[in-house]
Amino acid sequence: MARSKGNEMSNELTRKQATRLAELEAIIHSGLKTFCEVGSALAELNRERLHIETHSNFGDYCLEVFGISKTHAHRLINAAEVFKNVVTVSPIGYTAPTNEGQLRELAKVEPAEQAEVWQEVVETVATPTAKAIKAVVEKRAEPKPDKPKPTRKEIAADLKSSIKQHNAAMMRLVDDLHVTEPNKREHNAIHVCFRDIHAGVEAWK
């Protein structure tokens, strides 16, 4: 591997880093068949800057060593992250994503929603293609229709219902209070008051 111009010897890796670099490169050189492992390996290489001994730039390193662009490398990194998000919360026996294209579409939704979208896809289509995932993602992104505003009659009905419920609750509280601290005169007076309110609500048409 050619050393990038301007690279200093102080950027040499430790023996442990060099060993890990060789392991990660072997995974990536496997032909990019296991996209999840490859994405995780690329992420670690980039995060730990294990390429620094030969290449100061991660994009140049990916292009010269693996023949892939920096953009594609980050696609694989993102795919690995999405894959982890999906398999972490998916139930036992789930159908796992099998290619980077599927995960690229799942990456368009928030991480917390990715597993939910994937499960919706596998439950509705026989073959969970990237196109099928895209359709579900776009459908979920569509604006929800606004609920029609309630009519004056509906508002009045809701208010009457709330008053009735409140009145019944207060009657129960009055009864409970009377049991705890008996006072027949005051108790009857309150009952009369609430019965009048209840009768008024019932007569409100």
What are the pLDDT digits (tens) for 171-197?
A: 777 677 667 767 777 767 776 776 777
User: Please, are residues 83 and 103 in contact by the beta-carbon 8 Å criterion?
Assistant: yes
pLDDT of residue 190: 72
pLDDT class of 110 with cuts at 50, 70, 90: very high
The CA distance from 33 to 41, in Å, is 13
Looking at every residue in the chain, the average pLDDT score rounds to 80
Contact between residue 169 and residue 197 where contact means Cβ atoms under 8 Å apart: no
User: Is 105 buried (19+), middle (13-18) or exposed (0-12) by CB count in 10 A?
Assistant: buried
Nearest to 122 by CA among 88, 139, 98, 151: 98
Every domain of the chain and the residues it spans: 1-68, 152-203
Q: Is 90 exceeded by the pLDDT of residue 131?
A: yes
Residue type, 145: P
Q: What pLDDT, on a 0 to 100 scale, did the predictor assign at position 91?
A: 66
Q: How far is CA 180 from the centre of its chain?
A: 51
Query: Where is pLDDT greater, at 9 or 51?
Result: 51
Higher model confidence: residue 75 or residue 94? 75
Tracing tokens 């796992």 back to the chain, one arrives at 96
**Residue 125: pLDDT band by 50, 70, 90 thresholds?**
confident
Does residue 4 have a pLDDT over 70?
Answer: no
Helices (H), 29-148: 35-48, 58-61, 70-89, 100-106, 111-124, 130-141
Residue 93 pLDDT more than 80?
Answer: no
What percentage of the chain has pLDDT greater than the value 90?
Answer: 31
Looking at beta carbons, which pairs linking 132-141 to residues 24 or more positions away fall under 8 Å? 133/102, 133/105, 133/106, 134/105, 137/105, 137/106, 137/108, 137/109, 140/109, 140/113
Say what the pLDDT of residue 202 is.
65
